[in-house]
Structure 1
Amino acid sequence: MKTQKLKFTFLVFIFSFSNLFSQYTEIINSNNPGFSESPYSVGSGVYQFESSFFLKNLSTNTPTSLDNSWGVDLAFRTSFFLERLEFDAALTFQRDRLLGNFTNAYTINSGLSKIMVGAKYLIFESTYKDKSKEIRSWKRRFAFDTKRLIPSIAVFAGVNTDFVSDVYKTNTVSPRIGILLQNELSNYFNVITNFFYDFIGTNFSEYQLTITGTYNFNDRWSWFLENQTIFQQNQTNTSFAGGLAFLFNKDLQINTSARFLREAGNNGSYITLGLSYRINRHVDSYKLLDENGNEIIDTPINRYNNKRKGFFNRIFSIFKKKNKGNKTRNRGKRKRNN
């Protein structure tokens, strides 16, 4: 009987462990090669770097307009404090070629054009049944779970800094806020939807709507399709993209994409080649549950912590004055052998 209870407790422990820390994944979860962002964090103890080299071309004859641009987007993602909370930093270095004013000459601008820092928090995580273990009914196993229509939701808040090259300075710091949604419509197909309000309070504020569909062919390959529309005060820019991602190993992903642009009445292209890598220092935590699924509070570790009166009391106890009273040492009398 005790053996059966022990086995059941172990199974409950494993189940609670996998659900409690669903933010962390065994393989890298990169936002590249698309422009959308997943609502999920990378997980605590994970330090993730995402890079993307891009080449942009526009067919335009308008003076002082962008004709050609290339550069690199860099992003850093990590989580601490909370599994649902992620901190992000992004920067862009680019080199732009602008068409001259009423001449055939070109103007070259280059430098850091973007430095943004922010954070996102997963406020709701969608749950659904795992039907892969359903063996009694073929219909139930392959029926669509309507709960998958309910997306996981995260909120984002960030700041566009002005620590950029002089040619790209706006002389202001502007907020960036957003809502991130993800629907896992099947075990292989996901849809991500992003709503962003960027450069708030400036003359070039904009709304961004990005919808991305991702399908996994197998454990290594996946492809995506994406549409992004940017609503500005005087114009609307739209892009359609497709691309591939290859999982080289659990911590390294290689990706590429091609994008058709429509900006200010001009057509263009945007090609990327990216690399995402993570340093994985994630350490799992757990709660010990009994056979009824309740957390076991009275454990030797908890009793020890309560006796020590908490973490900060243990720290401050180092600085407490010790008793300087006279100490005596009792020695037992030695018996002398005659």
Structure 2
Amino acid sequence: MHKSLTYFLFICTVFNVHAQYTETINSNRPGESQGGFAVGKGVIQLEGGGYMGNDDHALYRQETDVFGAMYGLRIGLLTENLELNLFGSFQDETTSVRIGNREQEAHIRNFRTNTFGAKYLVYDPYKNAEEDKPNLYSWKANRRFKWKTLIPAISVYGGGNFSVGENPYLYPGESKLSPKAAIITQNNWGRWVLVMNFIADKFTEEFPSYGAIATVTHAVSPKFALFGEYQGYISDLYADDIVRGGAAYLLFDNLQMDISGLINFKDTPSRWQIAGGFSYRLDFHKDDEILGDSVDEARDNRKQRSQNSGFQFDDEE
């Protein structure tokens, strides 16, 4: 037992490459928030899925059946802290409007969103995790709550929304190019992860949108994780409060499958959706050697630390 504790202490305190790359895939799905950490230099990641749902507007007496697809491309570039990404959705919807005793239908189909941007990690509280070495003589000291674990990792995001051609999802007068910015925080507490996004979208337009997303994930096992999420919008054009829940399953280190659903809390409109999708990683990451650390040592040390992922699985079998 003493030898095991000593080995564990060595693994936790050795100075190594602190990479955003993790042994298993780091995905934003199935929630809407972005995790605080990049996918890792040399990683190309695809995230996508389909959804269906219904919007029922009590005031306008209209009901909309929704079908769509969401997609994302994430690329780790130049440094471990930088990620370039593209997120978007394509939606097909049919709206039925009751006028007197008659119903009229309207159908639209187009790209609902497309946003290209970059995320950069500006503060990582886990970078000096070797300072939190275990106390070999005090079980109580190791179990004591540490206030500094409340300090999150912080990233900044900047991007642009874009649309091509005539798009029915743009309101009259809306520009085809508009900015989007966000501050992203992430706390890793063992099997629990809290991600917060604070978003300013289209803030140069007539109807800007401001919002926040809070996502909590819990790794039930090394392969299975659950999540719950709240998202709020504030805008003169559309405001809402949405909750999501779902699960993800890790099929392989580079492939994750997920399922989720959402509801809101008003009737203008009332909304529900169900969704399913996947995340797949093309892994070209290579460990660097820093201050004498070998590639094998860097890899072993990374396995011992918590995964820096937006949707986190338990890393202990």
- 1:175 paired to 2:176: no
CA-CA distance at 1:69 after TM superposition: 1.0
**Does 2:90 align with 1:86?**
no
| Cα deviation, residue 89, structure 1 | 0.5
8 Å CA contact retained: 1:45, 1:79: yes
Structure 2 Cα separation of the partners of residues 71 and 265 of structure 1: 21
CA distance in 2 between partners of 1:238 and 1:89 (Å): 25
Give the percent of matched residue pairs that are identical in Structure 1 and Structure 2: 27
1:272 has 2:275 as partner: yes
Of residues 233, 236, 255, the one that matches 1:233 is 236
- Partners of 2:14 and 2:130 within 8 A in 1: no
Code of the residue aligned with 1:221 in structure 2: it is F
Where do 5+ consecutive residues of structure 1 fail to align? 1-10, 291-338
Does structure 2 conserve the Cα–Cα contact (< 8 Å) formed by 1:131 and 1:141? Answer: no
Give the 3 Å change call, closer, same or farther, for CA 266–168 of structure 1 in structure 2.
closer
Q: Distance in 2 between matches of 1:88 and 1:105?
A: 40
| Residue correspondence of structure 1 range 34-73 to structure 2 within 5 A | 34-63=31-60, 67-73=64-70
Measured after TM superposition, the shift of residue 136 of structure 1 is 1.7
Structure 1 residue 39: deviation in Å?
A: 1.3
Deviation sequence 1:30-80 (CA, Å, 0-9, x none):
000111111100001100000021112122244495622110100000111
* Equivalences for residues 274-289 of structure 1 within 5 A: 274-289=277-292
Measure the CA separation in 1 of the matches of 2:165 and 2:264: 25
Paired residue secondary structure (1:196)? strand
Alpha-carbon distance between aligned partners in 1 of 2:69 and 2:266, rounded to the nearest angstrom: 20
- Report the CA distance between 1:268 and its aligned residue: 1.9
Deviation at 1:130, TM superposition (A): 7.9
Which has the larger share of helix?
Answer: 1
3-state SS in 1 of match to 2:14 = helix
* 2: CA distance, partners of 1:66 / 1:76: 32
| Secondary structure in structure 1 of the residue aligned to 2:34 | coil
Shift of 1:171: 3.8
Indicate the larger mover: 164-173 or 95-104. 164-173
Q: Does 1:163 align with 2:164?
A: yes
Instruction: Measure, in 2, the Cα distance between the counterparts of 1:100 and 1:81.
Output: 52
Q: What CA distance in whole angstroms lies between the structure 1 residues aligned with 2:140 and 2:164?
A: 58
Root-mean-square deviation over aligned CA pairs = 2.3
Identify which of structures 1 and 2 has the higher relative contact order when contacts are C-alpha pairs closer than 8 Å and 6+ apart: 2
How far apart in 1 are the matches of 2:256 and 2:49?
12
Q: Indicate how the Cα distance of structure 1 residues 172 and 287 shifts in structure 2: closer, same or farther if over 3 A, else same.
A: same
Distance apart, 1:133 and its partner CA = 4.5
- Letter in structure 1 aligned against 2:185: L
Which is richer in strand? 2
8 Å CA contact retained: 1:241, 1:258: yes
User: Shift of the alpha carbon at 1:147?
Assistant: 1.4
Residues 264 and 204 (structure 1), Cα distance of their counterparts in 2 relative to 1, 3 Å cut: farther
Size of the alignment, in residue pairs?
276
